């Protein structure tokens, strides 16, 4: 089993001060794949202190130097693509082909876009022709706490870290305890790229622990959080006492609207988009609202597409979907499918239980109700 108990604080891998063990489960086997540490208040304090000490120097670093470091990080990220993809597949069950393209690729695209945007962004610019002697000066907000989810780990980590880095903020990353290994691999890349000590720090923990500690910490100037609405409300309340800036990207439900004149691939696209990443995306169109005269045809087609989607081992190559991330999510989904049946919805594809041939792993049958 992989052992990754340390945190990355002030440019070094350090042992936890208050760590407790946490197993990272491979959802395809239901077995532990790694053991990490969940930090405590002393670990959070150490990371915040390092970021706070590094902030004045990083803020004063010319934008061009920050961009150059990000460009070096991009090259390292590209060189270690295979390792990153395999890590994400092991942690959260994304099929390896998807991890190599969509999961890894999202991070690569975001980092490149931040470099492009930063090169064209003027930190000091004239207010306007009406005030020729006045200037708008953009400054980094300070020390940022970055709290990221498990469903698209590199997508969210790079969105937050890339923005903070080019702006001149120092940061503490708390990734989801479900998917900490890709974040630790990313920290290795940050170190290899040569970012100054204290600019980027990583402390593993859960929401109730390190997440809450960062949200309330007086040394944190901003919290950027992606996750559930419930957690977003708690973070907002915790941050209010110290007047932190808070940026939230919370849960939602998307619907496809299918009109009678929709193109012939609209339904197929909608169902496949929903099932991508085993349905674990904030933009998954989990409802399809259909114009009445086309309804029966769309139900039949949606069921046919769902029945054609293969579910399989995420470590194997091929076009299929993998398991959901953990036992808690699997049980929740099974309960919801059963509620749909009990309340009288018409089950036209899938249902409860694992797909045929899969008796272990958190696999869910592609399911459609009408």
Distance separating alpha carbons of residues 191 and 73, to the nearest angstrom: 9
Please state whether beta strands 12-14 and 222-226 pair in parallel, antiparallel, or not at all (unpaired).
unpaired
The predicted-structure confidence for 2-30, as pLDDT tens digits, reads as follows 999 999 999 999 999 998 999 999 999 99
The chain-wide mean pLDDT, for the chain, equals: 97
249 is known as an active-site residue: yes
| Consecutive H or E run containing 128 | strand 124-128
Q: What is the pLDDT of residue 261?
A: 96
The predicted-structure confidence for 288-347, as pLDDT tens digits, reads as follows 999 999 999 999 999 999 999 999 999 999 999 999 999 999 999 999 999 999 999 999
Sign of the CA dihedral with 187 first, then 189, 192, and 198 last:
negative
Walk me through the domains of the chain, giving residue ranges and CATH numbers. 2-249 (3.40.605.10), 254-369 (3.40.309.10)
pLDDT band at 248 (very low <50, low <70, confident <90, very high): very high
The predicted-structure confidence for 41-59, as pLDDT tens digits, reads as follows 999 999 999 999 999 999 9
Per-residue pLDDT, averaged over 187-197, amounts to: 98
Q: Dump the DSSP string for 13-48.
A: EE--SS-EEEEEEETTTTEEEEEEEE--HHHHHHHH
Q: Answer yes or no: is pLDDT of 177 > 80.
A: yes
Distance separating alpha carbons of residues 313 and 98, to the nearest angstrom: 12
Structure tokens that stand for 295 in this block: 């309804």
Q: Which of 18, 30, 188, 249 is catalytic?
A: 249
Q: What is the pLDDT of residue 148?
A: 98
Phi and psi, residue 23, nearest 5°: -90, 135
Q: What is the pLDDT of residue 255?
A: 87
The predicted-structure confidence for 315-332, as pLDDT tens digits, reads as follows 999 999 999 999 999 999
Q: Which of 282, 316, 317, 343 is catalytic?
A: 282
């Amino acid at each position: 089993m992989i052992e990754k108990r340390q945190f990355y604080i002030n440019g070094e891998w350090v042992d936890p001060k208050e760590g407790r063990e946490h197993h990272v489960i491979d959802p395809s086997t239901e077995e532990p794949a790694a053991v990490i540490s969940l930090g405590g208040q002393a670990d959070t304090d150490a990371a915040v202190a390092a970021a706070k000490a590094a902030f004045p120097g990083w803020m004063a670093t010319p934008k061009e130097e920050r961009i150059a470091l990000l460009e070096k990080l991009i090259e390292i990220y590209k060189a270690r693509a295979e390792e990153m993809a395999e890590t994400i597949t092991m942690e959260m069950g994304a099929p390896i082909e998807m991890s190599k393209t969509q999961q890894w690729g999202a991070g690569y695209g975001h980092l490149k876009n931040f470099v492009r945007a930063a090169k064209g962004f003027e930190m000091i610019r004239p207010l306007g022709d009406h005030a020729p002697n006045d200037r708008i000066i953009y400054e980094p907000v300070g020390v940022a706490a970055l709290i990221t989810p498990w469903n698209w780990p590199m997508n969210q980590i790079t969105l937050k870290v890339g923005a903070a880095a080019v702006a001149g903020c120092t940061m503490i990353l708390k990734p989801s305890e479900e998917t900490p290994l890709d974040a630790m691999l990313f920290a290795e890349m940050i170190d290899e790229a040569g970012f100054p000590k204290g600019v980027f720090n990583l402390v593993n923990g859960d929401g109730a622990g390190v997440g809450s500690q960062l949200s309330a910490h007086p040394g944190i100037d901003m919290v950027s959080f992606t996750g559930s609405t419930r957690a977003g409300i708690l973070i907002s309340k915790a941050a209010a006492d110290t007047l932190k800036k808070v940026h939230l990207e919370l849960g939602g439900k998307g619907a496809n609207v299918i009109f009678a004149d929709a193109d012939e691939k609209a339904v197929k696209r909608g169902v496949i988009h929903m099932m991508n990443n085993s349905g674990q995306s904030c933009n998954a169109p989990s409802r399809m609202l259909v114009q009445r005269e086309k309804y029966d045809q769309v139900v039949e087609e949606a069921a046919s597409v769902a029945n054609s989607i293969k579910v399989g081992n995420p470590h194997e190559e091929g076009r299929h979907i993998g398991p959901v991330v953990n036992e808690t999510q699997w049980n929740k989904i099974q309960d919801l499918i059963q509620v749909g049946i009990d309340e009288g919805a018409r089950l036209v594809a899938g249902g409860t239980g694992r797909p045929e041939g899969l008796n272990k792993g958190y696999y869910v049958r592609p399911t459609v109700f009408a």
